[in-house]
Amino acid sequence: MTECKCCGNEECLNQDGLCDSCGPYVDKLKHELARVCKWTPMFEDSYGDYDTSCSSAFTFMDAGVKENGFKFCPYCGGVIEEIKEAEE
């Protein structure tokens, strides 16, 4: 018998191989991971000050997004996409 890919349950598997309990949870995770938050430098010569597409702002005291190991926006949870140039 086939088990749920998430929890090992052997009952009520859907077409993705997930049980009724895990299916909605995994679908929510997929949706959350698909969210992208664009981080744009606030100023042309700025390094560390960003506007976010979720209507917030963030300042790093040292370096930028990648150098500080940020992968997800702390405000909306979206995957950070760093825009290299400030918008005019």
pLDDT classification of 22: cutoffs 50, 70, 90: confident
Distance from C-alpha of 77 to C-alpha of 59, rounded to nearest angstrom: 17
Question: What pLDDT, in 10s, does the model give residues 44-72?
Answer: 776 789 999 999 999 999 888 999 999 99
Helices (H) and strands (E) in the chain, counts: 1, 4
Report the 10 Å Cβ neighbour count for 43.
9
